[in-house]
Amino acid sequence: MLTSFSLDPSMISTLGGTFYPTGYSMVMFPDEATAVSAGEELSAQLEDSEVFLLTPAAILSQITPTVSDADDPLPSAGTEGATVRAYTKLAKEGHHGLLVKTPDAETAERMMEVVRRAPYSVAQRYRALVIEDL
């Protein structure tokens, strides 16, 4: 079932406090209709998975603020901050996102089979210590 997104504390990195939902993939689409359509199809195909719809407002109000302290006191060694800034830029342009539980490579590939049928802006899978471009 496609549900509205609400940031869960488990989706925040313990080091730096940046958005880092390990075991999930973030996919962004140029418009709401494409995101909703893909999200509904993913909800049906990935029955055991969670699929969250992220509006631009949700991204800007819940995810964007997680980078405020990411580079304080020292710049982050990882790409989490830059990744969130990319989501922020897209959200400001009206892009919508899906956050999909993808605990393994097989689920991520099944997700991408659906995602690739539509134009998408970015697709990234969060694994322990790695953000993987899909």
For residue 10, what are the CA distances in angstroms to 5, 22, 68, 113? 13, 8, 18, 27
Structural tokens at position 108:
């991520």
**Ordered alpha helix ranges (H), 66-104:** 80-92
Q: In degrees rounded to 5, what are phi and psi of residue 27? A: -125, 135
| pLDDT computed for residue 7 by the predictor | 94
Domains held by the chain: number: 1
Q: Cβ(27)–Cβ(122) under 8 Å?
A: yes
48-76 per-position pLDDT tens digit: 889 999 999 999 999 999 987 544 544 55
Q: Which domain holds residue 18?
A: 2-133
Which has more pLDDT, 93 or 74? 93
CA-nearest of 95, 54, 122, 110 to 134 is 122
